[in-house]
Amino acid sequence: MVLIQNCLQILLTQGIRVSMDDIAKELSMSKRTLYELFENKNELIYKCIALFIKEESKKMEYYLSKNHSNIIEELFPLLNYDIYNMMKDRHYFFQELKRYYPEIFEKIVNNHKEFYMSHLNKILNKGVEQGFFKHNINIEVVKLFLFYLMKPPKEDLENKELFQKYSISDIFENTMLCYVRGFSTPKGLELIEQTLKLKKNGIYK
């Protein structure tokens, strides 16, 4: 575990394209020893990313519980001030991962699909019970569509005008949130606006 954590820090500081030679040097071990521990760089990266997601998920749970988060923050953790600050510098790292190791990126996404779908199901049911989401929505359809909306855009879309001209935040508020507003009750719509206002005012700390 400690070894993987150390490798992860190297990837985060030097980038996903850092060589196995440089990783071995940072770890004060021979390249041969490193290859005895990991079959190849792909295995090293995959284990590091899996650990990273596990650790970041725990931090997200802590921040959400610390701030007594509402259902909208639970649905979209990046609306939480602390989580946003934690993740905002990770965007480039995952872009590099997707660009240079697409198989690993896709594997990570697929491996976490079941967990995330269960997470969405829980939040949507909770939102209906609390009166924030309409009681007649088809949760299976909604959570599947949300999942695919949340998946990062394909490589061929990244160079399009939309992603060059507008920030992820702008795109999120004009696409994802519009969808959520569609199945929200008046009470839910009010909560969305309150959450966005607090985020823009920097109150979540």
Domain ranges of the chain: 1-66, 69-205
- Kindly state the DSSP code that residue 133 receives in the 8-state scheme: B
The reported pLDDT for the residue numbered 205 is 42
Residues 22-65: pLDDT tens digits? 999 999 999 999 999 999 999 999 999 999 888 877 877 776 66
- 110 band by pLDDT with thresholds 50, 70 and 90: confident
Write the burial class of residue 79 (CB in 10 Å: 0-12 exposed, 13-18 middle, 19+ buried).
buried
Q: Report the candidate in 19, 22, 144, 168 with the shortest Cα–Cα distance to residue 91.
A: 168
Q: Using alpha carbons only, how large is the chain's radius of gyration in Å?
A: 19
Least confident among 5-19, 44-58, 178-192: 44-58
Q: Beta strands of the chain (E only): which ranges?
A: none
Report the share of the chain in percent with pLDDT over 90. 44
Average pLDDT over residues 134-152: 87
Q: Which H helix or E strand runs over 172?
A: helix 168-174
- Alpha-carbon distance of 59 to 81, in angstroms, equals 13
How many CA atoms lie less than 13 Å away from 94 in the CB half-sphere? 17
- Alpha-carbon distance of 90 to 201, in angstroms, equals 23
Q: What is the DSSP string of 106-136?
A: HHHHHHTHHHHHHHHHHHHHHHHHTTSB-TT
Determine contact, residues 188/132, Cβ cutoff 8 Å: yes
Return the higher-pLDDT residue of 165 and 137.
137
Phi-psi region of 19 (alpha: psi -120 to 50; beta: other; left: phi over 0): beta
Helices (H), 130-167: 139-150, 155-158, 161-165
- Alpha-carbon distance of 103 to 152, in angstroms, equals 14
Average pLDDT over residues 2-18: 94
Please name the fold of domain 1-66.
Answer: Arc Repressor Mutant, subunit A (1.10.10)
